[in-house]
Structure 1
Amino acid sequence: MKTITRKSLDNSIKDGAAYSAMLGLTQDYVTPFALALKASVPQIGILSALPNLSVAFSQLFAPFLSERAKSRKSFVFKAVLLQAVCFLPAFIMPVLFRDFGVWWLILWYTLGTMFGSLGNPAWSSLMADLVPGSIRGRFFGYRGMIAGIMTLAFSLASGLLLQISTDTLFLGFGLIFFGASLARFISSFFLNKMEDPQAKAPVKDGVSMKALVMDLNKTPMGKFISYSALINFSTYIAAPFFAVYMLRELGFDYLTYIIIISSASVANFVFMKVWGRVCDICGNVKILKLCSIFVPVVPLLWIFSHNIYYLIGVQVLSGIIWAGFLLSGTNYIFESSNRRNRMRGFALYTGGNSLGIALGALTGGFLVSILPQLNGYHMLSLFLVSVIARAIVVSLFINGIKEMKLKENPIPQAFISAYKLDLLALKIKIISQSIFQLPRIFRQPLRSGIVIRIFQLIIRF
């Protein structure tokens, strides 16, 4: 690998770490900030929906704008700077004008989200040129692991800050939003140090956005984009309201809330590197299908108990499943798009996901006011609706996603039998035999390489 490319990848990891610090400071605290501003449940739905609608809309123009910029890197850099600036008024304006505080928050958070998303297609195209295909899964798995650690660390720090600043709550939120802005500026610094192998994308090259949209059901990439958008729609019927359920209906304090939320981040970064290696060896579609089976299970488990330790376990499962789903899905877009169409492909992918998220959040905000209670809570009925919607999407569409390339690297049986079976292997055996009726190989020892073989066997269905 060229030295200049290696330096760019190192800077990309640092950029991702700073970006993830911003996410850790904001993604789980925008809703609590809105609740502190006395937001209603429909306003929470709008807070989730409107930024994603703006993202979906912006992706229609993002390839056009980035192709006419000086370079992909310069375009992404400017978009990131604009996002960093928006975090400060997103806090200041709601505090100064409390009567319309929630709406000011929605406005500035929407603008920041839109600016940040404008650079996504160009960034994805840039990374596709920088990261060799043979290590793509491992690189993004490692980058995702580092990002997960940063997200968790800053999310925990935010939760602790709010917990100790109960009497001066808005000061705590102010520090969080200032930190998010600073982290995004740091992210832009490392982003600007990266190399752009293709300084300027050809303006009239590739397939138009209109043609890609018209062929959604005809190409592997199009079928996956449709599937991903529907998964996001069914997921976000419930996703924006878990915070409302915990903070308002269950009455959890901020520390309890962040411990539960962060448990998913822990599982995410622990398994991200494992998923990356498994994707490289087994293929992305098999991992995507495996994780899709469990996507409807996560909200279903919330219905049975609100015990804190139980919910932590549910979130750990959620982190594992979504880490594999998102990593394999992103890798699949890289594989199923060629260089000429990749920027538009990622724009369509981001736009489709954002549109699904927005419509899901609006649907959830509407349904929660008319659904009956389940186990004493309206939110649990909403979670059940999300379970049903996810299950329908998975059952109808997952088999339409086809592998673009197949990688196999079986582990020798002699190596497998060299060590004792540990508790993790036993748990995997119990779960996998009940679902997939795996062979007796799991009575044999487990080491890091065996994990790969286990996943290879699980996904052969």
Structure 2
Amino acid sequence: MGTIKLRIQFLIGKLRRIFFMALPENEKDYQKSRKLYIVSDTASQMLSGFAGGVFLVTLMSSVGITEGNIGIILSMGELSSFFQLITMNYIQHLLKFKLFICMATLQKVWFAFIYFIPFFSWPNSIKAVVLMLCYFTANICIRLGTPPTNDWLADLVPSNVRGRFFARKEGIAVFFSVLVSLIMGIMLDYYKNTRLLQGFVITGTVILFLAIVNVVSIIMMKEPKTGPLNEQGKEIHGRLAKRLVQEQIEKCSVFEELKQAFHDVSFLKILILNCMWMTAYFVAMPFNFSYQLNELKLSYTYITVIGFGCSLLRIFITPTVGKEADKAGMAKTVERGMILVAIHYLVMVFAKASNGYITYTLATIFSCCAWAYTGIGFLGIQLEFFDKEKRVLLFSLFSAISGLYGFLVSFVTGKLLDWIQKKDIFIGNVPICAQQITNFMGFCATVGIILYIRTMLEKKDFRTPLQKF
């Protein structure tokens, strides 16, 4: 009995050291943690590719969900960001973030579970509801873990090399994501006609493996965040530390901090920028996945092969984009990305079944190049503009507002799409598809973003001073 108790105490001590006492002690620890973050993010991006896009569209179509509702469900991930408002005060005052982030990341296993839903002998209506609830639950947990993860990343990566680090991270993540997606796309094409359920089993199993890699990589990282310090400058742990944090939470007024956030000019400018991006993205992008499959009649293999080739182009240009971002600033980086997104939407406006292969290829080239800029620019501009002391709260508020707004845009557009699809719309004698209209709306919104950046973010330098690490 004593031996068992001793082993339990040893295990608790080991876990405590892993989750609450693993501080980076030198530059080697920082470098190792940055490499592990790249592994974690690569697994996360690969998983996101299977938990969205054409793979999830195929799954939802198999249980009878309509195209308009598919777009709405895909945007529910953004709606889940609203739950960050409920927990942001608690998360901001956590002694350490690692355990919370690991528990939130672990919920990605729900993405694996949804691919096994078709095996249940339920009516399609029940399957659709369960799929939606699991998808929404996983996204809520992921969104709750995003602000502390970004804060952790900001402490790991010095501000003067973030552009190059993000470029390296994106290049590695994109390469492995598109390589695995290519293999899975070919597999899904093979199974789609006769053995689609077997394809779902393989997809769900791969997602489960990636979720485990994601969590284990985070566990192995070291966290620079320090808890309360004593007079000797050493960390305080245990009940005393919890009591000190509880006193800080009680003294802190969430409403007062929210009021201060909305008086922060830099925060408001970036929030408006992101809401404009939510408009441009969710008014068209979620509905293009089903458009590629159902109206343009593209095969999974072709979609993934073109995606793979264009992603190699993205990997090739990403290091250059990272260096440009360090020199020109993140606002300029986002603007260049938006120019490419606008061209992508303009090409998709003219996409039809007769020219689908050509227009899809051109549009994908421009979009992959655009993500090289936006992948670095949007996160970089937040780290650059947000106050370090309030970063977790600002990330939470920013994500919650943007997510709720993005979902509302997608919901309204989804209903509009269903309505348009019931109409026969012609320009002259040329029939117009609903997604051609939504892509034109996305083009107009993206042009508005470019004008906003040039007039509001590039006239003056609103950036905070570079943080010293």
Alignment equivalent of 1:150, drawn from 169, 172, 176: 176
- TM-score (ref. length: structure 1): 0.81
- 2:445 is the alignment partner of 1:389: yes
Q: Is the 8 A contact 1:46 1:362 kept in 2?
A: yes
Show the counterpart of 2:206.
Answer: 179
RMSD of aligned alpha carbons: 2.6
- 2:317 is the alignment partner of 1:279: no
- 2:272 is the alignment partner of 1:223: no
Show the counterpart of 2:117.
Answer: 93
Alignment equivalent of 1:54, drawn from 80, 89, 100: 80
SS at match of 1:195: coil
Decide which moves more: 317-326 or 194-203.
Answer: 194-203
**Rg larger in 1 or in 2?**
2
Paired residue type of 2:438? L
Which structure 2 residues correspond to residues 264-303 of structure 1 after superposition, within 5 A?
Answer: 264-303=310-349
1:319/1:394 CA distance change after superposition, 3 Å: same
Give the distance between the partners of 2:88 and 2:262, measured in 1 at CA: 18
SS at match of 1:59: helix
Q: Is the 8 A contact 2:75 2:282 kept in 1?
A: no
Decide which moves more: 62-71 or 180-189.
Answer: 62-71
Q: Kindly state the Cα deviation for residue 396 of structure 1 after the two structures are TM-superposed.
A: 4.4
Paired residue type of 1:90? I
Show the counterpart of 1:72.
Answer: 97
Show the counterpart of 2:292.
Answer: 246
Paired residue type of 1:369? D
1:386/1:95 CA distance change after superposition, 3 Å: farther
1:345/1:169 CA distance change after superposition, 3 Å: same
Show the counterpart of 2:217.
Answer: 190
SS at match of 1:233: helix
- 2:410 is the alignment partner of 1:347: no
Q: Kindly state the Cα deviation for residue 23 of structure 1 after the two structures are TM-superposed.
A: 2.1
Paired residue type of 2:205? F
Show the counterpart of 1:336.
Answer: 385
Aligned residues: 405
Q: Deviations over 1:14-37 (max 9, x none)?
A: 111221221233322112211222
* Structure 2: gaps spanning 5 or more residues: 1-25, 229-244
Q: Is the 8 A contact 2:116 2:204 kept in 1?
A: no
- 2:75 is the alignment partner of 1:26: no
1:301/1:181 CA distance change after superposition, 3 Å: same
Q: Is the 8 A contact 1:231 1:390 kept in 2?
A: yes
Show the counterpart of 2:405.
Answer: 356
Q: Is the 8 A contact 2:74 2:286 kept in 1?
A: yes
Decide which moves more: 280-289 or 181-190.
Answer: 280-289
Paired residue type of 2:270? F
- 2:155 is the alignment partner of 1:129: yes
Higher relative contact order (CA 8 A, sep 6+): 2
Q: Kindly state the Cα deviation for residue 67 of structure 1 after the two structures are TM-superposed.
A: 3.2
Give the distance between the partners of 2:293 and 2:220, measured in 1 at CA: 41
Give the distance between the partners of 2:260 and 2:176, measured in 1 at CA: 39
Give the distance between the partners of 1:207 and 1:334, measured in 2 at CA: 24
- 2:30 is the alignment partner of 1:10: no
Aligned identity (percent) is 19
* Structure 1: gaps spanning 5 or more residues: 408-461
Q: Is the 8 A contact 2:43 2:214 kept in 1?
A: yes
Show the counterpart of 2:415.
Answer: 366
SS at match of 1:302: helix
Q: Is the 8 A contact 1:138 1:280 kept in 2?
A: yes
Alignment equivalent of 2:371, drawn from 322, 325, 330: 322
Paired residue type of 1:275? V
Paired residue type of 1:191? I
Paired residue type of 1:22? L
